[in-house]
Every structure is written in structure tokens, then in C-alpha cells.
Amino acid sequence: MIWFTKWALRNRPALVFSVIASIIFGIFSYTRIPMELMPSADQPFITISVVGNGMDAVSMDEQVTQPIEKVLTGIKGKRNVVAETGNNFSQMTVTFESDTNLKEARQQIQDNISMVNLPNGVMKPYVVLLNTSQIPVVYLGLTFDKEIGNNELNLVDNEILPLFKDVKGVGNVITYGGKNQQVSIKVDAAKLAAAQYPLEKLYTVLKGKNASVAVGEQTLNNQETSIIVTGKLESLEDIQNLQLNKGTKLKDVADVTLEKDTTSITHMNGKSFIEIVVQKDSTSNAVTLGKEVAKLAKDINHDYKGTLTATVFINLADTVLNSINSMTREVLTGALFATLIIWLFLKSFRMTLITIISIPLSLCITMILLSFFGVTLNILTLGGIAVSVGRLVDDSIVVVENIFRRKQGNQLTPSFIIDAVKEVAAAITSSTLTTVAVFLPMTLASGSLRDLIAPFAITITCSLLSSLLVALTVVPALSGRLMKNVKTKEHKPKSFYPSVLRWSLNHKWLPIVLSVVVVIGAVGLFTMIPKGSVDQKDSAYLSVLLKYPNGAKFADIQEGLSKLETILSKQEGVTNNIVQVGNNADAAQFGELQDGNQVQFMVFLKEGVDSAKIAQALRKTKNQFPTAELIANTAGLMGENKTTVSVDVLGKNDSDIKKAADIIIKKLNTIKGVQKVESNDADKKPTVNITVDSKVANAEEVSGSLQAMLQPAVIGNMKIDGRTTMVKLGALKEIRTSKDLENLEIFTQDGPVLLSKVAEVEQIEQPGTLYSKDGQHYLQVNATVHPKKMVNVAGEINKQLLTWDKDKTFGNETSAELTGSSMQSTDDLMELAKLAMFSIGIVFMILLITLKSFRASFAILLSLPLAAIGSLLGLVVSKSSIDISSGIGMLMLVGIVVTNAIVLVDRIRHNEENMTIREAIMEAGTVRLRPILMTALATVFAMVPLLFAHESAMSMNLVSKGLAVVVIFGLIVSTLLTLIVIPTFYELFHFRKAKKQRVKKGTEENHNEFSI
């Protein structure tokens, strides 16, 4: 690597040009790299959403869910299929092994589902694989001064949407809500009979009335002319005036009205609205796009004042910009802290300037490399820069300090600088490569974890390699220029450390015992510290749910919705609220189907408002909703801010499943860290079961006859206000009791007959929602737990489940298993543990190649358990848990802590050429003390801003306080212990050689004394 230094000193003009070019292109790359919230990562599951047409839960389960479940059995990498089936909907979630290619799995699922024959009226299933790159940049709502009708929908489609699609950088614009109106024909049976018009003919009343038929071509006026016969119905009046027979029009026997869809509700601040979701393309900048869309919304409000209002309720541009600004502040603050540490040690402005030049220059080179690799600027890549900023000066510190130390009485000639750099080049190269060797394997992680941490690892790798290049080229060249006139005082080594080191070498038992105690203590602390998930403390909005029991009337749900909207409108601090009820195609394409008895609100708050306090205030209003359960929680990018551990109970008998679920609920309530326990054991829904006597009637004919009388029937489409509008023939009979149903007169082959004569009508209770897992009905018990104790709670539950399984507590055909986010977090932590072991192996290999000594390499690896005890102590002191963030921090430590040990051992190895082992150790410890402390403290203080960093609710916070705590405490403890333990073990590993050298030296001294 010394070749870089020789080239830099011999080609100063080329070096100056390279530096200037790197700065210019680095700044240019920074402005051109796309900014987004998160790197592109697939969710570890695929959802299949299906919307029915008036089908109850049992029918949906038998005719939709089960057939789809059967064709999913052979999907590659599938872990399990969990289905929720309710009235009019079915939603399945397919989870996969971490190494599965989810895009291929999605295509395979689509192909398999295409072979399933679904009942008439059931929508085509949506197979949804969500990716973080699909996270919309802007959500906004369009509200109108009057009810949304076809004219308003035309305005949105023809004028508003094109404006958004024309914005540069927009990849996709999706609308949600705002359904076409529909024509409803409600027949008066008595008037129809009086007009002597058969009911059956009403089903074909539109046939041929609204058509365009090409007759052919004829020669007219000496020209070939097309002849087209067209019939047009373009208004409500056209339908009302349809002639049924002589003297009778449709309006004479039926009410014909234009009404909106009554099966779902989408409101914003109490008014119907159309939601517009704007996604960016793969190359655009989220910040720029968000600003442009927000500006367009203001222009729309100005241009369409009095007609509609565009309200932006989520703009990720603000979030991304705040995150970038926050992380940039942390980078600059960390760089400032590192600079102060260097200045305090060197007490020279010029030398400090030489050292810290590596930070901006390394960052510029990093930006160029990130642009080359196609890595975006997001919360994780910026986090990578933040955690590596202290490490960027490490190599430069060692180079500058060595040149400064050797300068006393010497001229800064090129050959002198080359020798000074050569002395440490192997050490800094080895230490940098070992750190890189820790981060690069992160790209080998599986699934979504890899997608998230790979850009983080690439960023740190690029920055470290850039800093090494700067340390070997720019720093020596600047040193030769700026340090010529720097007066250096003789560096007087401190006497305290050499005394402690000598005593430790003479009393090796103490460092050895200390190391054993440290290892045992680390193991003990690891078992004691809670292991959980990343705690999402901040809030982007409130998630408020009104949950009604099965069988609740739609009118009651509407009333509760209106009441809660009124409460929210009076709540101080609330800016906007949006609500959704019911299922439709818009919800299905996002994989967001829900029980029709649930009212889901998203409540947005003013900046700085205490969201937890408002959530608590909303919970206190639950008494105003006696028939519904009110749930209010803070929420962020990944949904509600709560951590759950789930247990799935499977079996063949519903009663046995229920008993097992009750046992689990009782046990979970006794586990420390569990805050709330509930199950998905849904309420029963009242159902009328009609059993047809097959001897006297046909069940299919009976059901068809009932459906024709009780359910609106689509009899055609027509154009109204330029939009295709559905025409429905309303229900012919209105029933209120099961007795009314029995007295219905249906049509059979033998003529009209009462339903009670051909079938038995009974009222029963059946599940309003059905849950299945891998084709078996099941119940899920969910425990809301403290985020820091999630893995501990999961471990305790797993232990109990094994005991129950061994004791046959649930019976032979009933079982329970741990699932949900706890499994994902445990898998991620295990993945990081595997990566750590792999990284340690690579580090050891690099050490063997560099030092060419097994014992020296092993001595350096002893710094790792020393770092472990420090990081674990830090977690205890800060009351943090072992989660993904702290796990990444521990992985980082593997590379960082060996740096100091390498610098120390490399010097010892160099000294051994002309010194005894004891002398080599003492000299190396004395000489390397200052650069080791400087590099360690520079890294530690550069990480301090992360301890107080704002954790955004709209990110996953993988680079957070837990990571900083682990690195800071681990590095401090390992540095202090490394200065004692590593030299001690190094001499211990060379015990025989060292003993011979001491004996020989003692003999020589005695001989010299005798001669005198």
C-alpha cells in the first residue's frame, strides 16, 4: 500500500487535481443521488385479497378461501398461509423463509390462483407484495363543497389527475374512494301488477335500449358509407320514461333514483373525499417530488376555489428532509467532537487540519462511489455515514501521529515521510480491511434484512476505504507541506501506563483472571438483558379503531362513525382525520381488507402535540360507544406502535381449540412484560339456515328465486354524465323476521309456493369471521408486550409450549406454536449472530495473512470479548434491550475494536526484530498509547450525537440509540482493557521465548557486573 504514498509525493499536481475533482464530483453526486426514506426492501410476506358480492363468511370460506389455499401448497419457500375470511371478503397472508425470492413467489401464486374457478360476483384476487420503494411520497385528499357525484369524478379524472401525472418524477398516481353513482330501480309490486307487466321482463328492460350496432356499409351519394344503429340512455329521465307497455312508463311503477355506493364509507374530516396517492419513479428525488406535489396542491386550491379543496395529510418529503438534516447535523457534530479530541492530543492547529481533512474528502469520495453503485441517500445510508465519521480519521491520526513523533530533529523529506508512513501502512491497511470485512458480509444476509442493511454496509465500506486512500496519499503530502515549520517538542511518555503494563506482565494471573471474569460476566449479562424489537417511540399519526360485534347494523356503524368524527373535530391538536369502512377494490389492491364491522381512523396531529396524551383522551370516550370497542394507539410507518407476540392454536375440533386458547391466555397474563392479551375468537353472527326438501324442490332454484327477490340485481349499464353507471333492480321484498322469510312466495317448477312448504327455516349462530392456517381453522392469541422484552417473553412462551406439548395438555389433535413479529425479530437476531461469526472468521484470516502469526492473530481476537462486556454494560446502564439496532452495533464492534489491537501488535512484531519480547511490548505500548486513545476517543465522541438523535416515526430506526450505546461503551471498555490484556496474552503465547530472553539477559547482566 506504500505505493500510493510514493505516487502522491512524486505527483503532487496530479494529487491536487484528484482532490479538487473528488470534491466537485462528490458535491455533484450528493445533489444527484435520489433521496428517499428507506432503501428498497420487500416485505417478508405476500397478501391475497378477494372481495365477494354479498357472500357470508362460511360461503366465502368454502368457495373462495379453501380453493385458493389448496393451490398454494406447492409454493416454493412458503412457511405458512394464514387466512381471515369474513362477510364479503377473504384475505390470506403467505409468509416465506428468509432466503425466498419473493417476486418469483408472487408470480407463482398469481399463476396458481388463475386456475381457481371462483363464484360469480367474486372479484379477481389481488396478489400484493409491498416494497419500501412503493411507499407513497404524498397522500392527499380531495373534498368537495357538495356530495361527490359523477360530475365531480369526471373533474378529478379529466383535470386533476393529469396535473399530478405531469409532475416530473411521478411514477404512479392512485385514487382511492369516490365511487360511481348507481341507478336504483325500486319496484312497487302493486302498481306493476295493475299495469299487467310481468316482473321477469323488468330484468331485460334495458336490453337493446342502450346499444350501438354496425349494420354494414352502403354506397350513398357515390361514397362508401358505414351505417350504425345507436340507442342511447344518457340521463335519469331517459330511464324513468322508458315505455313498458301502452300507457305505462317505468316511473309509473317504480322509483328510479341516482344513489351513491352504500356498502363502504371513506371520509376526511367528516366529508366524503377522494384520496390521491403519489408514488415516485425509481430515479427521482423524494424531497423534490414532495415539494412539487405540495406546490401543485396549493395551485389546485387556488384554481378550483369554491369547487374542491386539496389537503396534504402525509408528505414524506418533509420526513426525508428532516431525517437527512438531522443525520447531517449528527455527522457534523460528530466530526466536530472528533476534531476537538485530536486537537487536545496534538495541540497543533496544522496537524489537526491535516487529520480532519480526511472527513470531508472521504465523504466526497463516498458520495461518488454510492452514485456509482446506485445506492440512494436514505435514513440507513446516512446512518452509515454517521456511525463511520469517527472511524474516518483513525487511519489519518495514526499516520500524522507517527510522522509527528518521528519528526523530532529530522527534515520532512519525501523519503522520511515514506518511511514514517511505511511503518504504519501495514497496520492501518490491516485494521481498515478487517473493519470492511465485518460490514461486507452484511450483504449476504437473507431477504428483507439484507435489503435494509446492505446499503448501510456498502456506505460504511466505501467511506472506510476512502479514508484509507486519503490517509495514504493526501495526509502524507499535506504533512510534508504544513508540518515543515511546526516545532515539535519531545514526546514524553506518561509513566503511569508503562508502570501498570510492566506490573501486569509480571503478574499475568490478574489479567488472565480478569479476562475470564469478563467473559463469564458477558455471558451472564447477555442472558439477563431483555431482547426485543426496535422501539418506535415517536408518532406520525394516531390509529383509532371502533370495533363493532358481528351482526351490527350498518346504520349503527354510521352513527358511531359520525359521533367519533364529532369528537375528533373538537379535539385540540388534531389537524385531519380520515376513516374507512367496508371493503372494495381500492382496499384490496393495497392488501388492506378488514372486517366490515370495523371503523378505522387515521388521525393526524399538529407538530409538537403529545400524541400519547391525545390517544389517552380518546380512550376515555369509550363510554359513548356502548356497543363497540374503542382502541386508540400512536402509529408510525410500520403501523401501530405496539409490539405483539402471537400464539397460533390449531386443531380439528373448535371446542378443543377454544379450551387451549383459554389456557394460553391465562398463562400469558402471568408473564412479566406482557401488557395486554386478546384473541381473535370472533363473535357469532345470527344466520338463517334454509334446508330445502330435495324431494319437492331444487335448492339452486330456491336460492336463485330468493336472491332475485331479496338482493338488488344488476340489469345493465348506461352512460350518465360521461361515466359508465351501473343500473340495479332493487329488492322486490323486504323482510324483517325469519317468519317473513317463511311466508315468502317463491317460484318452482310446479308454480308459486310458500318457502315454508318446501324448506325448513331455522335461525342459528355461526362465526362472522373465520380464521385458518394452512387449511386448518385456528385461533390466534396476541399478547402486547414491552418492546424491550419481546424476545424474552417469546422465549418464555416457547418454553411453556414445549412443556404443554410434552404433557399433552391440549390433547392429541390440538397444538400451539409461536408466530408473528417475535419470530421475525428472533430470526433477524439469529441472522446477525451468524454474520458476526462469519465476520470473525474473515477478520482472523486477514490477521493471519497480515501478521503471519497464529498466536499474534489470536491475541488480537481476545479484544472481542472485552468489547462484548462493555457493550452489554452499556445496554444495562442505558436500560436498552438487545434488538436489531444494538445487534448491528455489536457486529460493528467486531471490526472497530480489533483496530487498536492491530496497531499495538503490529508495533510489537516490528520491534521484535531488534528487541526482546518484553522490551518490544513496553516500547509498543508506550509509543502506540497516544494514537490508540486518539482514534478510540475520536470514534466514541463522533457517536455521541446518535445517543440524542431524534428517532423518526416514519423510519425503522435501525441506526439509533441502541447502536450508539453498544459502540461507545464497547469501544471504551475494550480500549482500556486492550492496553493491558492484549500485551499480557501476547507475551503469554510466547512464554518460552520470552523466558529464555529474560534468562539470557539476566545472565549477561550478571556477567557484566562480575567483569566490573
Average pLDDT over residues 205-230: 65
pLDDT confidence band for 296 (50 / 70 / 90): very high
pLDDT, greater one: 245 or 472: 472
Rounded distance, CA 602 to CA 176, Å?
A: 15
CA distances from 682 to 546, 632, 704 (A): 15, 20, 30
Report the interhelical angle of 863-877 vs 884-911 (nearest 10°): 140
Report which listed range, 68-77, 399-408, 630-639, 835-844, is most confident.
Answer: 68-77
Q: Strand ranges (DSSP E) for 87-177?
A: 89-96, 126-128, 138-144, 170-176
Average pLDDT over residues 814-828: 67
* Each residue's pLDDT tens digit, 867-892: 777 777 777 777 666 667 777 777 77
* Each residue's pLDDT tens digit, 771-800: 888 888 788 888 877 766 766 777 778 788
* Each residue's pLDDT tens digit, 36-50: 777 777 777 888 888
Cβ contact 148:309 at 8 Å: no
Cβ contact 976:952 at 8 Å: no
Cβ contact 958:536 at 8 Å: no
> Which stretch of 55-64, 112-121, 403-412, 824-833 has the lowest confidence by average pLDDT?
824-833
DSSP 193: H
* Each residue's pLDDT tens digit, 902-917: 888 888 888 888 888 8
pLDDT confidence band for 1010 (50 / 70 / 90): very low
Give yes or no for residue 957 having a pLDDT over 90. Answer: no
Give yes or no for residue 803 having a pLDDT over 60. Answer: yes
Residue with grid cell 523529506, as numbered in its chain:
413
CB atoms within 10 A of CB 1: 17
CA distances from 632 to 147, 266, 546, 612, 669 (A): 29, 19, 9, 9, 21
Q: Are strands 271-280 and 643-651 parallel, antiparallel or unpaired?
A: unpaired
List the beta bridge partners of residue 274. 142
Nearest to 494 by CA among 935, 982, 976, 929: 929
Task: Give the pLDDT of residue 787.
Answer: 65
Give yes or no for residue 952 having a pLDDT over 60. Answer: no
Q: Are strands 182-187 and 723-729 parallel, antiparallel or unpaired?
A: parallel
pLDDT confidence band for 535 (50 / 70 / 90): very low
3-state secondary structure of 729: strand
pLDDT, greater one: 592 or 508: 508
Q: What contacts 137, CB < 8 A, 6 or more positions away?
A: 278, 279, 280, 286, 289, 290, 293, 315, 316, 317
Nearest to 214 by CA among 203, 204, 202, 229: 229
List the beta bridge partners of residue 629. 547
Computed over every residue of the chain, the mean pLDDT equals 79
Take residue 613 and report the three cell numbers written for it.
Answer: 396524551
Task: Give the pLDDT of residue 299.
Answer: 92
Task: Give the pLDDT of residue 937.
Answer: 84
Task: Give the pLDDT of residue 229.
Answer: 61
Secondary structure (H, E, C), 968-989: HHHHHHHHHHHHHHHHHHHHHH
pLDDT, greater one: 755 or 620: 620
List the beta bridge partners of residue 630. 546
Rounded distance, CA 471 to CA 425, Å?
A: 9
Helices and strands in the chain, H and E counts: 37, 31
* Each residue's pLDDT tens digit, 326-340: 767 777 777 787 788
Produce one character per residue of 132-159: b if its CB has 16 or more CB atoms within 10 Å, e if not.
bbbbbbbbbbbbbeeebbbebbebbeee
- Stated as kind and residue range, the H or E segment containing 581 is strand 574-581
> Which stretch of 62-66, 548-552, 582-586 has the lowest confidence by average pLDDT?
582-586
Task: Give the pLDDT of residue 1006.
Answer: 52
Rounded distance, CA 840 to CA 842, Å?
A: 5
Nearest to 898 by CA among 797, 982, 800, 830: 982
pLDDT-above-90 percentage for the chain: 4
Task: Give the pLDDT of residue 486.
Answer: 60
Report which listed range, 402-416, 548-562, 670-684, is most confident.
Answer: 548-562
Report the interhelical angle of 863-877 vs 509-528 (nearest 10°): 50
Take residue 963 and report the three cell numbers written for it.
Answer: 447502536
* Each residue's pLDDT tens digit, 367-382: 999 888 888 887 778 7
Rounded distance, CA 828 to CA 834, Å?
A: 10
* Each residue's pLDDT tens digit, 510-525: 877 877 787 777 666 6
Give this prediction's pTM.
0.72
Nearest to 596 by CA among 561, 624, 562: 561
* Each residue's pLDDT tens digit, 922-950: 888 888 888 888 888 888 887 777 777 65
Q: Are strands 541-547 and 265-268 parallel, antiparallel or unpaired?
A: unpaired
Task: Give the pLDDT of residue 791.
Answer: 66
pLDDT confidence band for 163 (50 / 70 / 90): very high
Rounded distance, CA 849 to CA 546, Å?
A: 64
Task: Give the pLDDT of residue 17.
Answer: 93
Task: Give the pLDDT of residue 825.
Answer: 57
* Each residue's pLDDT tens digit, 230-261: 667 777 888 888 888 887 888 888 888 887 66
Cβ contact 174:279 at 8 Å: yes
DSSP per position, 445-473:
--HHHHHHHHHHHHHHHHHHHHHHHHHHT
Rounded distance, CA 477 to CA 126, Å?
A: 62
Give yes or no for residue 362 having a pLDDT over 50. Answer: yes
Report the interhelical angle of 509-528 vs 961-989 (nearest 10°): 150
Cβ contact 487:370 at 8 Å: no
Task: Give the pLDDT of residue 446.
Answer: 65
Take residue 858 and report the three cell numbers written for it.
Answer: 489470536
Task: Give the pLDDT of residue 536.
Answer: 47
